[in-house]
Structure 1
Amino acid sequence: MRVGVDEAKRIMMEHFADTARRFGLSELYGYIYGVLFFEDEPLSLGKIAERTGYSLSHVSTALKLLENIGLVKRIKKPGDKRAYYTAIKNIREWRKEAYYKKIEEDVRQTRKNLLKALEAIGDDESEEAMKIKERIEFSLQRNAITERIINIFLKNEEEKF
């Protein structure tokens, strides 16, 4: 029976590593998440490094990002100076709250900065200004499409739950 459990864990660890790669990250991020995903208790930085085979510094850096995007939570235990980490296992909640919301915020910030850059060009009609203006206007159109798509995803997520 243990062979089946080990194979299931291996499949999921590879899935998490592949997911990290698809997002342009090192497979380490996926392996860290996978290690924590299968644990019932939080793990220390040292244990995570030991289980993934990566250095403490690489694991520490990766954990900071995973914590920032809401996939990993840092926990302090009373009387222990070390930090412990656990995976957020409710992926549906994470996806809705962290992933889509962060993308939505990035789309809003992108629009704001594109408009600010367009305003900075002002009445400049030089060749360079016109090229930049054209690129910004194209980006604004793409940004508006992205914003509509994200809003559709958020609306659909709310209706399902």
Structure 2
Amino acid sequence: MGIKEAKRIVMEHFAGAARRFGFNELYGYIYGVLFLAGEPMSLGEIAETTGYSLSHVSTALKFMERIGLVVRIKKPGDKKAYYRATKLLKDWRQAAYYSKVMEDVQQTMTNLERALRELEGEESDEARFIRESIEFAIRRNALAERILRFLIEHDDEEVLERLLNCLESEEKR
């Protein structure tokens, strides 16, 4: 029961992550199945393991291949297509999480800048307070975008560990 339950937990985790970030949970189930598979799996095997129809799995795999979460493999002498997960959790995070967060950060910036433009010519105390609040939020949002871009562009764990160590040492001061 241990292996089966461990697989279920991983599949449920990826399905939940997919749901949280606005993707179909099937993408998470498929990724979880392939992430744990020792060998590439056929469309039929994936459908059987996930319990979804061939057509749903096929559509999901096309999308997942397009965004880099799975790779299609052809075996010599076999007409079937086989799939494997990229095995890089970074790719999953980028597709399922970072892209959604970046979209929100960029939308936030657009809306804050629009609101700031609306205050042009306003000189009341309330307008100054609102302007200062928006300008603060714009600066924070710009920092969040820089940090997110750094995470997206750097997959070297050593670089990220050094950054984290630097940030943690600053906290202690």
TM range (shorter): 0.5 to 0.7
SS in 1 for 2:32: helix
Letter in 1 for 2:160: K
Q: Percent identity?
A: 57
What does residue 11 of structure 2 align with?
A: 13
Runs of 4+ in 1 over 4 A off after TM superposition: 141-146, 154-158
Letter in 2 for 1:14: E
What does residue 70 of structure 2 align with?
A: 72
What does residue 87 of structure 1 align with?
A: 85
**TM-score, normalised to structure 1's length?**
0.64
Closer, same or farther: CA 80–73 of 1 in aligned 2, 3 Å: same
Q: Distance in 2 between matches of 1:143 and 1:64?
A: 34
Q: 2:50 aligns with which of 48, 52, 56?
A: 52
Task: Report if the CA contact (8 A) 2:70-2:85 is conserved.
Answer: yes
Closer, same or farther: CA 99–16 of 1 in aligned 2, 3 Å: closer
Q: Distance in 2 between matches of 1:48 and 1:60?
A: 9
Q: CA deviation at 1:17?
A: 0.9
Unaligned runs of 5+ in 1: 115-129
Q: How does 1:1-161 map to 2 (within 5 A)?
A: 3-92=1-90, 94=91, 99=95, 103=99, 144=142, 147-154=145-152, 157-158=155-156, 159-160=159-160
SS in 1 for 2:82: strand
What does residue 128 of structure 2 align with?
A: none
**TM-score, normalised to structure 2's length?**
0.60
Unaligned runs of 5+ in 2: 119-133, 162-173
